[in-house]
């Protein structure tokens, strides 16, 4: 997208997903499990002209950090969240994550998952997200395009990325995703809220995964509502000249 690495901010959760922080150049913060979204929102408030991207696993985003996700959606915070959805807690070796299918047997659910899985698409669309897409690690050109669109979108964007965890989730193999994913047709209208929810519901019934932009709309973003930020960003407004005295409080 032509960004200088020093003009973008990335925040990484904890997990295999977030070890991506070791492979990218750019300003980044590798924070706490489930907390990449509040960190991203904080960065956006400090400098709302800067693209901010949060990278998370499905455990961190839909489990431990699920509450943050809801409020990021309803606030239409202008950040992009990339979720590496493999259906398990990969880094901690395969406990079940919220997108796993009912009945899935894992180390933490030896008799099978009892709960209904979270559907990240309908969840975020219904809570006010203004850009919701799904990609597949096996379709890299489409995925790159979706990530670009998500970053370019003004408002809260979520890209759920289906990907195998070859070590700890054999049920979600490449072949499984190849069979179960489908591209949304050209005629699909991503601007229709009700149709987007219907499409997702139908895909769940069929046990299929749509790929593409599922829903997209325009609404004012959170910082548009802050008159304090109307003229310039917070970092431009108040250079921190008294950092030492702030830090003293923590000593």
Task: List contacts with ligand TPP (CB under 6 A).
Answer: 14-17, 32-33, 57-60, 84, 86, 88-92, 97
Nearer to ligand TPP by Cβ, of 10 and 91: the residue is 91
Residue nearest to ligand TPP (CB): 57
DSSP string, 164-223: --TTT-TTS-HHHHHHHEEEPPTT--TT-HHHHHHHHHHHHHTT-EEEEEEEE-----GG
Q: Which pair of tokens denotes residue 145?
A: 């395009």
Kindly state the smallest distance separating residue 84's Cβ from ligand TPP, in Å: 5
Nearer to ligand TPP by Cβ, of 17 and 134: the residue is 17
Kindly state the smallest distance separating residue 176's Cβ from ligand TPP, in Å: 17
Q: Which pair of tokens denotes residue 22?
A: 């070791």
Nearer to ligand TPP by Cβ, of 8 and 100: the residue is 100
The structure tokens 């907390």 sit at 35
Kindly state the smallest distance separating residue 61's Cβ from ligand TPP, in Å: 7
Determine contact, residues 18/28, Cβ cutoff 8 Å: no
What is the spatial distance between Cα 202 and Cα 115, in angstroms, rounded to a whole number? 20
Beta strand 95-96 pairing with 181-183: unpaired
| Per-residue b or e along 17-55, where b marks 16 or more CB atoms closer than 10 Å to that residue's CB | bbebbeeeeeebbbbebbbbbbbbbebbbebbebbbbbb
| Bridge partners, 85 (sequence order) | 162
The structure tokens 């933490």 sit at 108
Kindly state the smallest distance separating residue 69's Cβ from ligand TPP, in Å: 12
Nearer to ligand TPP by Cβ, of 58 and 78: the residue is 58
Q: Which pair of tokens denotes residue 179?
A: 């069979």
Nearer to ligand TPP by Cβ, of 33 and 153: the residue is 33
Nearer to ligand TPP by Cβ, of 17 and 39: the residue is 17
Nearer to ligand TPP by Cβ, of 134 and 223: the residue is 134
Kindly state the smallest distance separating residue 40's Cβ from ligand TPP, in Å: 15
Using CA atoms in the order 114, 120, 121, 124, what is the torsion angle rounded to 10 degrees? 120
Q: HSE, CB side, 13 Å, CA atoms: give it for residue 42.
A: 10
Kindly state the smallest distance separating residue 62's Cβ from ligand TPP, in Å: 8
- Radius of gyration, CA atoms only, the chain: 19
| Bridge partners, 29 (sequence order) | 11
């Amino acid at each position: 997208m032509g960004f200088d690495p020093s003009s973008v901010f990335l925040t990484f959760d904890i997990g295999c997903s977030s070890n991506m922080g070791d492979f990218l150049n750019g300003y980044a913060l590798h924070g706490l499990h489930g907390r990449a979204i509040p960190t991203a929102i904080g960065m956006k408030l400090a400098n709302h002209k800067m693209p901010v991207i949060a990278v998370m696993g499905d455990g961190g985003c839909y489990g431990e950090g699920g509450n943050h996700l809801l409020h990021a959606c309803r606030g239409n915070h202008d950040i992009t969240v990339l979720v590496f959805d493999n259906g398990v807690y990969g880094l901690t070796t395969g406990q079940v994550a919220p997108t796993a299918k009912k009945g899935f047997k894992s180390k933490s659910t030896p008799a099978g998952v009892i709960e209904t899985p979270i559907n990240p698409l309908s969840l975020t669309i219904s809570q006010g997200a203004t850009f919701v897409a799904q990609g597949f690690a096996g379709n890299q050109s489409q995925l790159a395009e979706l990530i670009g669109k998500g970053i370019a979108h003004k408002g809260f964007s979520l890209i759920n990325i289906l990907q195998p965890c070859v070590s700890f989730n054999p049920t979600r193999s490449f072949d499984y995703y190849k069979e179960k994913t489908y591209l949304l047709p050209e005629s699909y209208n991503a601007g229709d809220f009700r149709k987007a929810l219907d499409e997702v519901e139908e895909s769940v019934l069929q046990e299929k995964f749509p790929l593409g932009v599922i829903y997209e709309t325009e609404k004012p973003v959170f910082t548009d509502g802050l008159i304090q930020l109307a003229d310039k960003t917070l970092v431009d407004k108040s250079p921190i000249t008294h950092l030492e005295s702030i830090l003293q409080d923590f000593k």
